[in-house]
Amino acid sequence: MIPEPSGAPAQTMFARIWRRHSVLALEDGESLIYVDRCLIHEGSRPAFQSLDRLGKTLRCPAQVIACADHYVPTTNRERGTGGIDDPAIRQMVESLEHNARRHGCTLIGLDDPRQGILHVVAPEQGITQPGMMICGGDSHTATHGAFGALAFGIGASEVMHVMATQTLWQEMPRTMRITVNGHLAVGASAKDLILSIIARIGTGGATGHVIEYAGPGIRALSMEQRMTVCNMSIEAGARAGMIAPDDTTFEYLAGRPAAPAGALWQSALEYWRSLPGDIEAQFDREVRLEGTQIVPMASWGTSPEQCVAIGDRIPDPLRETDGARREAQARALEYMALQPNQPIAEIAVDRVFIGSCTNARIEDLREAAAVLKGRRSVLPGLVVPGSSAVKRQAEAEGLDYVFQAAGLEWRESGCSLCTGVNGADFLQPGERCASTSNRNFPGRQGPGSRTHLMSPASVAATATLGRIASVRDL
Amino acid sequence: MERFELLDAVAVPLDESNVDTDQICPARLIRAFAQPGRHEHVFLHDRRFNEDGSPKPEFILDQPAYANAQIIVAQRNFGVGSSREAAVMAVRAAGFRAIVAESFGDIFVNNCFKNGVLPIRLVANEVDALRASLHRQTGAHVAIDLAQQTVTGPDGGSYAFAIGALRKRCLLAGLDDLSLTERYADAIESFERTYRAELPWLKL
């Protein structure tokens, strides 16, 4: 074990993990941080291009995990990359697989039975573990913080730097603790919790900070729910979001293919138990929420901070005192074709999407299926499992039947309609979608698309009523 | 990487907050940067072009006075969202070298420094004053002195900004951080040896 200096000041979990990975710290504030896992997808192509240009090789190739997720089709998968009609999109998937093989990365390609969204696959394979420093060429790398890892997104140049050196230059972020007292009420989900947090602190509320989520309301969450919360930390501007590992974490990890086993499991467990922060540790900012008061939420605007309880009305910009926020609200209302003070539950929706690294794990699909069982969706929609393993599990439980009987399409795993880049899954201009994804930015789901972020249960309720709804409306 | 020392150029006021990286570079256009070519149309594409590809001339960026603009002055949370480096590449391809705002997305800031683009944070009233002066004098210049860490508006108002010493050094010299890291190869080697011995389950 790593002895801590006696009499050292109380530390946050973040600081403990940061210090453990610090190779060196320059006097001017930058640290060289050692990286345990680097997660990449098709979008990391420029990183390989720069690596080749500089004639560099990977320092720890197997610790670079490459998943085909962003550009993969969600139909015709038996045809492999041949099922991708657009040659430019096919090339994105093929170049990831080619580069990963050539450099010896851990490749989870299109045909792999483990295939899926990076942030669903790495945890379910046991690749993500407590105490790790995980970087990914994707902002939702924050998801992995649910295991008590320090995990954040980086750009392609930084991915290249990590691949070549296994390190990254970083300025130490500030710390924020978000304490959730009281458990979530029945009918409120982890998605409603994180949307409430973002609505409260704002989309830039945690900029420059690493969030540690704490309190009984967090401890009571399953790993899937914790991943949903940490996943959207980036939507609050946070560098990363983390939850201290506990028995829930260890039970989830035990027996996973890439998790340590035997004597190493015991050593790892002992180390993992030493990670949580000291009780007296100080944070730069503290936020407290009452978990019992969390209610189903939906976004109405073009930023994740623009959301309200499903029983509430859309705000009136005229009543907003902050000038920049008022202008942003007015622009969002115009883009979304909505009126000030309109009850959000009156908004008619065109389409639903259940999927993404935020809400496409098995528990999310169970939550949506529980609402749809015995009901019909009056809207067209896609259900896209977060991984091929999630898909198999859902099929074993008969969830695919529930979704299809309700009239929704059951697809193969990928990012699909969250990113809208696979050439097939995107919205038409002006189309309005109730979505379990993470971003409602203008054009996110296709040019001119209108997105309402919600929990899986609320999207399922919306599907049956044709307007924004929660299970409480059924 | 291109050096950055002094920049005295036309600045465009963009009266918006939360200009996210999906707007800066729509996801379907990221692929463009995998191929060489001129990509100046990618930046804020869907704000500047109609679905049929025709330009929306009313958008401030495409007004003739800003044809040679190299500086953007926005509101808060510029570059939030996705980690796509193509967003900064789109900014750069459209001719911009510096962005002034009240706050930025963290990943966007890191990506800026990898691409020779300087993100400058000023407090709200300074950013507002700068934008107001640019509205009063369409096509006016803003001067940025990285060594002195100052931004000077067309009305002579000068504002100091903060920047990490390493980032400043790299940008002034046009250094990329990989060459810097390689100077510490021994430190990484020795760290890794101890680390692997102490936490043996982490190596894949």
Question: What is the secondary structure of A154-193 as a DSSP string?
Answer: --HHHHHHHHHHSEEEEEPPEEEEEEEESPPPTT--HHHH
The predicted pLDDT at position B82 comes to 96
User: Distance between CA atoms of A246 and A218, rounded to whole angstroms?
Assistant: 11
Domains of chain A, by residue range, sit at: 13-170+246-270, 174-245+277-293, 297-473
| C-alpha atoms less than 13 angstroms from C-alpha of A198 in its C-beta half-sphere | 32
pLDDT digits (tens, 9 = 90+) for A155-169: 999 999 999 999 999
Chain center to CA of B155: 24
Of B17, B77, B202, the CB nearest to A36: B202
Residues 6+ apart with CB under 8 A from B53: none
User: Distance between CA atoms of B4 and B147, rounded to whole angstroms?
Assistant: 9
Of B27, B105, B204, the CB nearest to A419: B27
* A297-473: CATH architecture: 2-Layer Sandwich (3.30)
Is there a contact between A237 and B105 if contact means CB atoms under 8 Å apart? yes
Q: Tell me which CATH code domain A174-245+277-293 carries.
A: 3.40.1060.10
Closest CA of chain B from A397, distance in Å: 33
Is there a contact between A158 and B114 if contact means CB atoms under 8 Å apart? yes
Residues 6+ apart with CB under 8 A from A337: A430, A450
Is there a contact between B181 and A324 if contact means CB atoms under 8 Å apart? no
Residues 6+ apart with CB under 8 A from A400: A391, A394, A410
User: Judged by CB atoms within 8 Å, which residues 74-103 of B form the interface with A?
Assistant: 75-77, 80-86, 88, 102-103
The predicted pLDDT at position A4 comes to 56
**Closest to A361 (Cα-Cα) out of A235, A252, A211, A444:** A252
Q: Give the mean pLDDT of B57-78.
A: 95
Compare A360 and B53 and report the one with higher pLDDT.
A360
The predicted pLDDT at position A28 comes to 77
A13-170+246-270 and A297-473: same fold? yes
- Flag whether residue A429 sits within 8 Å of chain B, measured between CB atoms: yes
Per-residue 3-state assignment (H helix, E strand, C coil) for A322-385? CHHHHHHHHHHHHHHCCCCCCEHHHCECCEEEECCCCCCCHHHHHHHHHHHCCCCCCCCEEECC
Domains of chain B, by residue range, sit at: 6-175
pLDDT digits (tens, 9 = 90+) for A281-333: 999 999 999 999 999 999 999 999 999 999 999 999 999 999 989 999 999 99
Percentage of residues of chain A with pLDDT beyond 90: 96
Is there a contact between B110 and A158 if contact means CB atoms under 8 Å apart? yes
Q: What's the N-to-C CA distance of chain A in angstroms?
A: 54
The predicted pLDDT at position B34 comes to 77
Is there a contact between A447 and B82 if contact means CB atoms under 8 Å apart? no
Residues of A within 8 A of B201 (CB-CB) are: 129, 260, 264-265, 267-268
What are the counts of helices (DSSP H) followed by strands (DSSP E) for chain A? 15, 19
User: Distance between CA atoms of A80 and A97, rounded to whole angstroms?
Assistant: 12
Closest CA of chain B from A279, distance in Å: 25
- For A188-284, list the strands marked E by DSSP: 209-214, 240-243
- Flag whether residue B31 sits within 8 Å of chain A, measured between CB atoms: yes
Residues 6+ apart with CB under 8 A from A9: none
Residues of A within 8 A of B114 (CB-CB) are: 155, 157-158
- Flag whether residue B70 sits within 8 Å of chain A, measured between CB atoms: no
Residues of B within 8 A of A208 (CB-CB) are: 106
Of A30, A46, A234, the CB nearest to B164: A30
User: Distance between CA atoms of A333 and A340, rounded to whole angstroms?
Assistant: 7
Does the domain made of B6-175 have the CATH classification 3.20.19.10?
yes
User: Distance between CA atoms of B36 and A373, rounded to whole angstroms?
Assistant: 51
β-sheet bridge partners, residue A354: A383
User: Distance between CA atoms of A158 and A135, rounded to whole angstroms?
Assistant: 9
pLDDT digits (tens, 9 = 90+) for A358-385: 999 999 999 999 999 999 999 999 999 9
Phi-psi region of A226 (alpha: psi -120 to 50; beta: other; left: phi over 0): alpha
- Flag whether residue A151 sits within 8 Å of chain B, measured between CB atoms: no
Whether A256 and A125 have beta carbons less than 8 Å apart is answered as yes
Closest CA of chain B from A420, distance in Å: 7
Using CA coordinates, name the residue in chain A closest to B85: A155
Using CA coordinates, name the residue in chain B closest to A56: B178
Closest CA of chain B from A305, distance in Å: 10
- Flag whether residue A424 sits within 8 Å of chain B, measured between CB atoms: no
pLDDT digits (tens, 9 = 90+) for B96-125: 999 999 999 999 999 999 999 999 999 999
User: Distance between CA atoms of B87 and B29, rounded to whole angstroms?
Assistant: 10
10-residue mean pLDDT profile of chain A (474 residues): values are 63 98 91 98 95 96 98 94 92 97 98 98 98 98 98 97 97 97 95 98 97 98 98 98 98 98 97 97 98 98 98 97 94 98 98 98 98 98 98 98 98 97 96 98 96 98 98 95
Is the pLDDT at B130 greater than 60, yes or no?
yes
Is there a contact between B184 and A421 if contact means CB atoms under 8 Å apart? no
User: Distance between CA atoms of A34 and A22, rounded to whole angstroms?
Assistant: 6
- Flag whether residue B49 sits within 8 Å of chain A, measured between CB atoms: no
Is there a contact between B203 and A49 if contact means CB atoms under 8 Å apart? no
Residue A280 burial (10 A CB sphere; 0-12, 13-18, 19+): exposed
The predicted pLDDT at position A1 comes to 42
Phi-psi region of A71 (alpha: psi -120 to 50; beta: other; left: phi over 0): alpha
β-sheet bridge partners, residue A290: A181
- Flag whether residue B51 sits within 8 Å of chain A, measured between CB atoms: yes
**Closest to A151 (Cα-Cα) out of A393, A413, A162, B21:** A162
Q: Tell me which CATH code domain A13-170+246-270 carries.
A: 3.30.499.10
Closest CA of chain A from B197, distance in Å: 10
Is there a contact between B16 and A327 if contact means CB atoms under 8 Å apart? yes
**Closest to A433 (Cα-Cα) out of A414, A415, A446:** A446
β-sheet bridge partners, residue A424: none
Residue B14, classed as helix, strand or coil, is coil
Residue A383 burial (10 A CB sphere; 0-12, 13-18, 19+): buried
Cα separation values, A359 from A25, A179, A319, A384, A437, Å: 38, 22, 33, 10, 7
Question: Is this prediction's pTM over 0.95?
Answer: yes
Is there a contact between A155 and B188 if contact means CB atoms under 8 Å apart? no
- Identify the H or E element spanning B186: helix B185-198
Q: What are phi and psi of A33, to 5 degrees?
A: -105, 135
Percent composition of chain A: helix, strand, coil (DSSP 3-state, to 5):
40, 20, 40
Residues of A within 8 A of B22 (CB-CB) are: 439, 441-444
